[in-house]
Amino acid sequence: AVKPRVLSGIQPTADSFHLGNYLGALRQWVAMQDTHDAFYCVVDLHAITVEHDPATLRRRTKVAIAQLLAMGVDPDRATLFVQSHVPEHTELAWVLGCITGFGEAGRMTQFKDKSSKQGTGGTTVGLFTYPVLQAADILLYSPEPHEERALRVPVGEDQRQHLELTRDLAQRFNHRFGDTFVPPEAHIPPGAAKITDLQEPDAKMSKSASSPQGIIDVLEEAGPMRKKIMRAVTDPGSDVVYDEERKAGVTNLLRIYSALEGTSVPDLETRYAGSGYGQFKKDLAQLVVDTFTPIRERTLKLLDDEEQLDRVLAQGAERASRVAARTMDTVRDRVGF
């Protein structure tokens, strides 16, 4: 049987991915490359919707790709590429933009959040039409409808509205111009965990909102990693128990531990019954360090061999382009070009 297709992207907006990205998304990319026909991209076009520095963007795109490879994304099993290397993304975004209602786009809540944070320059048309580009990112890799296979997109809560728009645009296009796209399905990958800030355990761990003490970077050295775990906010009492309401800090640490080790939370509670927070945090710190040290070392090695990295990217772009070009041929024909 033909595997369902999965499409996922991540922005190159930091010098390192963080623990939340890893446990909430990227680890699942690695798992899904065996069960799916996977397309994974670093979405640099999205990264310029807010003010950016070109040299920094170029560096972060490379570092993002190196980290994904270091985490286990296999360029022979998954199609791994950089969005801007496949110009069909912007071409399809234009076509889809022309069937998107202005009011419809204006209802996207993420735009309202993000644009209100833009400084002196104000917000941009690019940020406003970002969800349309995202729809193009997904629908370019639609299987052909007669193939009867699913198009899945792993999404967190904050992206649901954009995926809904993508489904609407796929159906609208099909209705007006003939069956072209498979409407994508939201996919909650098993094992994906929502990780909160180590200092403010009620808030999401996030590169834009977390303080340095609240976030663990994948590429961080062992020393600071350990310190951050040891200094993570815990809660009154000393019992290692899962309680989202009264023990948000310990609960977050239990979730991290459980996800990294593959042990259930009740088993961890039993293991640490009566031993207090100290030993628990020490063991968790070791687990975090053991998980990310090899990833950091592989990333640095990959970054040392720029030619090899470029070969991987060229192969990914070529494979993605084959699918994207086929989709765009159909789209061009259907709309009358």
Contact positions vs ligand ADP (CB under 6 A):
10-11, 20-21, 23-25, 156, 194-195, 204-208
Query: In the complex with ligand ADP, which residue's Cβ is closer, 5 or 327?
Result: 5
Query: In the complex with ligand ADP, which residue's Cβ is closer, 13 or 315?
Result: 13
Among residues 217, 158, 222, which one has the least CA distance to residue 186? Answer: 158
Query: In the complex with ligand ADP, which residue's Cβ is closer, 59 or 204?
Result: 204
Contact, 279 vs 202, CB < 8 A? no
- Least Å distance, CB 275 to ligand ADP, is 27
Query: In the complex with ligand ADP, which residue's Cβ is closer, 174 or 206?
Result: 206
Contact, 79 vs 319, CB < 8 A? yes
What is the sign of the dihedral through the CA atoms of 34, 38, 44 and 50?
Answer: negative
- Least Å distance, CB 11 to ligand ADP, is 5
Instruction: Confirm or deny that 239 is annotated as ligand binding.
Output: no
In the chain, helix, strand, coil percent, each to 5? 60, 10, 35
Query: In the complex with ligand ADP, which residue's Cβ is closer, 11 or 84?
Result: 11
Angle of helix 88-97 relative to helix 125-139, nearest 10 degrees?
110
Q: CA-CA distance, 28 to 152, in Å (whole number)?
A: 13
Instruction: Confirm or deny that 11 is annotated as ligand binding.
Output: yes
Residue nearest to ligand ADP (CB): 24
Q: Give catalytic residues, as residue numbers.
A: 114, 204, 207
Contact, 66 vs 303, CB < 8 A? yes
- Least Å distance, CB 6 to ligand ADP, is 13
Instruction: Confirm or deny that 159 is annotated as ligand binding.
Output: no
Q: CA-CA distance, 38 to 170, in Å (whole number)?
A: 20
- Least Å distance, CB 155 to ligand ADP, is 7
> What CA dihedral angle connects 207, 210, 215 and 219, to 10 degrees?
30
- Least Å distance, CB 32 to ligand ADP, is 13
The H or E element containing residue 153 is strand 151-154
Instruction: Confirm or deny that 79 is annotated as ligand binding.
Output: no
Instruction: Confirm or deny that 308 is annotated as ligand binding.
Output: no
Could you count the other beta carbons within 10 Å of the beta carbon of residue 298? 16
Instruction: Confirm or deny that 230 is annotated as ligand binding.
Output: no
Contact, 331 vs 94, CB < 8 A? no
Q: Which residues are annotated as a binding site?
A: 11-13, 20-21, 137, 156-158, 195, 204-208
Q: Which residues are annotated as a binding site for L-tryptophan?
A: 137
Q: Which residues are annotated as a binding site for ATP?
A: 11-13, 20-21, 156-158, 195, 204-208
